[in-house]
């Protein structure tokens, strides 16, 4: 009997609460223009820091209307595995470790350090 009581209610697809007294968060529509002239608008919260560029998803990156130039951020180069390794070991230490590993690989006894 309980199986029939939920039939047709679209359980989970609709909220059973009313929207009376609920106000959506204040928003602002910001317009962006791609290099090819495609214009699109993106909603942001009025409290949000609006970026100067936005990826439209179809036409590439658009610049916010009213912004003449985008400031280039000084991005630090990504630290690679090699950079992090060189912070911990010197080339001499790495050479010793390499010789030990190669000796073990050849079946020789590893040199005592």
Q: Are 31 and 65 in contact (CB under 8 A)?
A: yes
Does residue 8 lie in a domain region?
A: no
Phi and psi at 34, nearest 5°, equal -80, 170
The pLDDT of residue 60 is 82
Neighbour-count burial for 63-96, b at 16+ CB within 10 Å, e otherwise: bbeeeeeeeeeeeeeeeeeeeeeeeeeeeeeeee
Domains contained in the chain, number = 2
Does residue 19 lie in a domain region?
A: no
Does residue 101 lie in a domain region?
A: yes
Record the pTM.
0.47
The pLDDT of residue 92 is 96
The β-bridge relationship of strands 39-45 and 27-33 is antiparallel
Domain shared by 54 and 82, yes or no: no
Does residue 106 lie in a domain region?
A: yes
Does residue 11 lie in a domain region?
A: no
Range of the domain at 57: 25-62
Does residue 93 lie in a domain region?
A: yes
Burial group, residue 62, by CB count within 10 angstroms (0-12, 13-18, 19+): buried
C-alpha–C-alpha distance, residues 57 and 31, integer Å: 15
Does residue 56 lie in a domain region?
A: yes
> Going residue by residue through the chain (113 aa), what tens digit of pLDDT does each one get?
556 665 666 666 777 778 888 888 899 999 999 888 889 999 999 999 988 888 888 888 888 888 766 666 677 888 999 999 999 999 999 999 999 999 989 988 766 65
3-state helix, strand, coil in the chain (%, to 5): 25, 20, 55
State the virtual CA torsion across 13, 16, 20, 23 in degrees, nearest 10: -40
- Residue 39, domain CATH: 2.20.28.270
Does residue 10 lie in a domain region?
A: no
């Amino acid at each position: 009997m309980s199986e029939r009581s939920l039939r047709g209610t679209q359980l989970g697809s609709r909220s059973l609460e009313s929207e009376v007294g609920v106000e959506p968060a204040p928003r602002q529509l910001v317009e962006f223009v791609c290099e090819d002239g495609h214009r699109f608008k993106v909603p942001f919260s009025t409290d949000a820091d609006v970026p100067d560029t936005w990826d439209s998803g179809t036409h590439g990156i658009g610049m916010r209307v009213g912004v003449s130039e985008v400031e280039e951020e000084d991005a630090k180069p990504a630290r690679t595995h090699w950079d992090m390794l060189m912070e911990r070991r010197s080339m001499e230490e790495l050479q010793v470790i390499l010789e030990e590993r190669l000796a073990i690989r050849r079946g020789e006894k590893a040199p005592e350090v």
